[in-house]
Copies of this chain bind each other. A is one copy, B any other.
């Protein structure tokens, strides 16, 4: 357990390239240790893995244009995502909420409560609900996003609207539930302990009372596999997911972070979130050869059907004797072919996803799927890709996009400031 506790999981993913939407990355290789200086994972020579729950991720920026945590941070094992509608009528109320949230998140990420759990003599309501006491920071990050509604006529902030922030348009094969779509503010709380993530969102929601109401939420989990040679996590369809995700500084700069042209948003990003239901019982009844054709990869190894191993680049021109659209080894309507950057003008999106399990649906079938988040410097990159996937992807038979939201994610604040402060100058 000890010899290699400093070998960093984040580095395992180095060299992977990225592309793919629809059903995207489940945790895993999206981050790099360098981004935060924190990597709670350790692995021994046998691939056994354990998590150090005493790790904490700093909230405040120490340099200009530094992103919030939870984007490049090595994906933690649990995520609670919550979307709010603003009920406030003035910019000042929004300002106060963002300032209070920021101060609270800084405390939570350090593993502290956000105030007294037990006021003197028990008189008064606790500032913190207490269920994460003694649990440690567990690498918690809470990422704050601002939806299009923040910049509508209500708050006088239209002039500050981030250039590419607009509601995601209707896309082919959308089956969106209005109650799981849209919203003015988002919180993405990720941690290596589910109670730490839930506590954070619960107590932040509590602070929002009178200013914002909860609109929708998704609670997810995911983890990379145990072996250092097989680090890509699997989605609930049993396939590795995230093999070609973004990893390098250059890719982050080109596809994720907003540059100085973005003004007050420089160093920030856009967050596109989809709740994607998987029809698991139908999927489970499909023969594996067809499942492989749908993804364009083998199930166990994750190798492209054009040959090689997991990290071999797919060859979309390799021929196959029969049985695929286009006569190629990788079906032209497979998920990997449609999503690949080679087939999308070089565009990549950073995917950060978690599996969710909502119990049973009204038919007594498993209600589960993927909480999919993409971080992009232009939401149009997602929209373009999903328009294509929604029209043609063989995976569409087995998935439904039931929730959707888009949010601008400002850069991290400096100490003494708060997320989005530049909005109010």
Contact = CB atoms under 8 A, between A and B. Distances in A.
Interface in A334-391: 355, 357-360, 364-366, 368
Interface string A268-299: 00000000000010001111111110000011
Interface stretch (A29-37, A49-57, A58-66): A49-57
A206 interface: yes
Nearest to A241: B131
Contact of A238 (B131, B299, B359): B131
Given A53-B49, A119-B288, A223-B135, A195 B125 contact: no
Interface residues of A, number: 81
A46 B54 contact: yes
Copy count, this protein chain: 2
A365 B130 CA distance: 19
B289 A117 contact: no
A358 B356 CA distance: 11
Interface in A287-314: 287-292, 298-300
Nearest to A205: B366
A273 B219 CA distance: 23
B46 A299 contact: no
Interface string A120-141: 0111111001111111100000
A13 B250 CA distance: 51
Given A48-B136, A359-B218, A288 B238 contact: no
A392 interface: no
A218 B359 CA distance: 7
A96 interface: no
Interface string A85-99: 000000000000000
Given A226-B53, A359-B358, A364-B214, A234 B133 contact: yes
A219 B236 CA distance: 15
A287 B123 contact: yes
Contacts of A291: 122, 126
Contacts of A235: 131
9 contacts: A48-B53, A48-B54, A119-B288, A122-B288, A133-B225, A133-B300, A202-B366, A214-B366, A218-B359
Interface of A: 1-2, 5, 42, 46-54, 78, 80, 117-119, 121-126, 129-136, 193-195, 198, 202, 205-206, 213-219, 221-223, 225-227, 230, 234-239, 280, 284-292, 298-300, 355, 357-360, 364-366, 368
